[in-house]
Structure 1
Amino acid sequence: MKLSVIITTYNRPDMLRKVLEGLCHQTRPAYEVIIADDGSGPETLEVVRRFMDDALLPIYHVWQEDLGFRSSEIRNKAIRKSSGEYIIMLDGDCIPEKHFIEDHLCLAEKGFFFQGKRILVSRKLTHIFSYKDTDSKMRLLKHFVSGNISNSHHLVRLPFLPPYSLTRLNGIRGCNMGFFREDIFAINGYNQAFVGWGREDSELAVRFYKYGLKRKEHPFMAVCFHLWHEENNRKRLDKNDQLLKKAIDSDQHKCLNGLLQIR
């Protein structure tokens, strides 16, 4: 099955480099990687071009003008650019564990979208942490003992344990999420009414549920390592909360301004 990885990023070239390094050292490679760039400067483009030249997998760069936080729109543009039957959404500050793609493919199932887990890397450790740390049990043990990683119960990979399914909103995070191409098009993708940080991933999940999907999770597979950064501006969170409530109260699974409205 062809799998596309879409990485959202904005002006964090060093973190993006670490994420791309992680994707280049997977037990099973992606069919393609698409950088969904919400208006970054030339430093990010330099990182992307370097990987385009050197990586052994296709990498594409989708960019839009910097008009504020417009994650939904740039994700939709990247999805339109993609060609994979299955799509993984990964944030540009989340380094994938080496089995990340293999695990996502193993857990992909019709009738479900997958919500992956994340391990949090501390502020102190973030600047030196890389994919090499994710592949070293000794380094990870050292980081755990020193208190520099949290959510550490996800460190152990246990693929023989079964996943579980649920239909709730808590725990939804777009930094590590997988779904079938046909499903994201069926609900018209991300709702571009969301501008500014917050709730666009939860609203997407609401519409997946209304479309008839369930959510699948596995606490010990398909994990990523979330690098520390300052919180995003949350001044539009109240408005985005209203958009989320509107989706919850609605009986519709398609948003009005989404994938099909991308020009």
Structure 2
Amino acid sequence: MAAKCSLVISTYNWPQALKLCLDSVLRQSVLPAEVIIADDGSGEDTKKLIHLYQSASPVRIVHVWHADKGFRKSVILNKAIQQTSSDYIIQVDGDVILNRHFIADHLIAREHGAFVRGTRAMLSQQKTAGLLANGDGAAGLSALSAGVQHRFNGLRLALLSGLVVRKKMSSNSVRGSNLAYWKADFVNINGYNNALQGWGHEDEELAARLINLGIIKKIVKLRAVQFHLYHDEGHRQTADNHRAEIERIKEHKIIACENGYLQAADYE
């Protein structure tokens, strides 16, 4: 069964991780209507992998790619979301493994006037290496699995999840790795800010403008579970500048960025 939502997966030059992610997508109890892969300039190995999954997938998989000109995640996400056909977007990174009810849980959590921020359990370096080496074996991941860190975030207790839902008018701790929103809200704020190039906080900046629009952050736990593969942290030279932009957005109550969703097609 496929649901009327679009799953957007961001990736960059890690096809082994993307394979595990896509495998977990195809195991979903409720499939998304489509999968849009936002590829920030990966090489041929990623293209070949995606082509294999396009041939075998029961739902549409679209590969949205642009040339590698540095970290331009905001731009490629805007381009990918331009290709979506659903009114609800679920967004993850290509280095996570989804619990088999991840999509179903997000659909239960969706609510007009809100965007959803989920959490993630972390996998140790050793556990990650084992999963990547085997190319499978991730189907049985749970909070109790060896090598799982932040175990509470790996718990799925659907009957209790409603008791721990929180709502805040705050953009703090929002990550695109586990995020969902109505496409109309995304378009109303002109999507991601293309000017935020380089690592860091593009999701919090997006969330700050959603908050300014009056869209509340809905924090979901014990549902929409995912497991994040270990990797070294990227370069963070741009993080301070991006944080400063978030503070400007908050101070001036800015809703729509000037260079975003509508301008993404101008970037090669």
**Do these two structures clear the TM 0.5 threshold for a shared fold by scoring above it?**
yes
Query: 2:103 aligns to what?
Result: 101
Once the two structures are TM-superposed, the CA of residue 206 in structure 1 deviates from its matched residue by 0.5
Pairwise CA RMSD of aligned residues?
1.4
Query: 2:148 aligns to what?
Result: 149
CA 142–183 in structure 1, closer or farther in 2 if over 3 Å, else same: closer
CA 182–131 in structure 1, closer or farther in 2 if over 3 Å, else same: farther
After the TM superposition, which parts of structure 1 deviate over 4 Å for at least 4 consecutive aligned residues? none
User: Is the contact between residue 97 and residue 138 of structure 2 (CA under 8 Å) also seen in structure 1?
Assistant: no
Structure 2 portions without partners, runs of 5+: none
- Count the aligned residue pairs: 257
User: Is the contact between residue 95 and residue 131 of structure 1 (CA under 8 Å) also seen in structure 2?
Assistant: no
Percent identity over the alignment is 37
Query: 1:4 aligns to what?
Result: 6
Q: Name the amino acid aligned to 1:254.
A: A
How is 1:150-169 mapped onto 2 (pairs within 5 angstroms)?
150-161=149-160, 162=162, 163-169=165-171
CA 178–224 in structure 1, closer or farther in 2 if over 3 Å, else same: same
Residues 16-69 of structure 1 deviation map (CA, whole Å, 9 limit, x = unaligned): 010000000000001000110000000100110010011111100000110000
Once the two structures are TM-superposed, the CA of residue 238 in structure 1 deviates from its matched residue by 2.2
How is 1:1-263 mapped onto 2 (pairs within 5 angstroms)?
2-129=4-131, 132-135=137-140, 141-143=144-146, 148-161=147-160, 162=162, 163-263=165-265
Q: Name the amino acid aligned to 2:138.
A: D
Measured in 2, the distance between the counterparts of 1:117 and 1:83 equals 26
Measured in 1, the distance between the counterparts of 2:191 and 2:137 equals 34
Structure 1 portions without partners, runs of 5+: none
Q: What SS does structure 1 have at the residue aligned with 2:159?
A: coil
User: Is the contact between residue 98 and residue 135 of structure 1 (CA under 8 Å) also seen in structure 2?
Assistant: no
User: Is the contact between residue 73 and residue 258 of structure 1 (CA under 8 Å) also seen in structure 2?
Assistant: yes
Measured in 1, the distance between the counterparts of 2:137 and 2:104 equals 18
Once the two structures are TM-superposed, the CA of residue 233 in structure 1 deviates from its matched residue by 1.2
Once the two structures are TM-superposed, the CA of residue 219 in structure 1 deviates from its matched residue by 1.3
Once the two structures are TM-superposed, the CA of residue 164 in structure 1 deviates from its matched residue by 2.1
Once the two structures are TM-superposed, the CA of residue 154 in structure 1 deviates from its matched residue by 2.4
Residues 127-149 of structure 1 deviation map (CA, whole Å, 9 limit, x = unaligned): 22377435355xx5341xxxx21
TM-score computed with the length of structure 2 as normaliser: 0.92
Q: Name the amino acid aligned to 2:76.
A: I
User: Is the contact between residue 194 and residue 264 of structure 2 (CA under 8 Å) also seen in structure 1?
Assistant: no
Once the two structures are TM-superposed, the CA of residue 123 in structure 1 deviates from its matched residue by 0.7
Residues 62-95 of structure 1 deviation map (CA, whole Å, 9 limit, x = unaligned): 0011000001000000000111110011001011
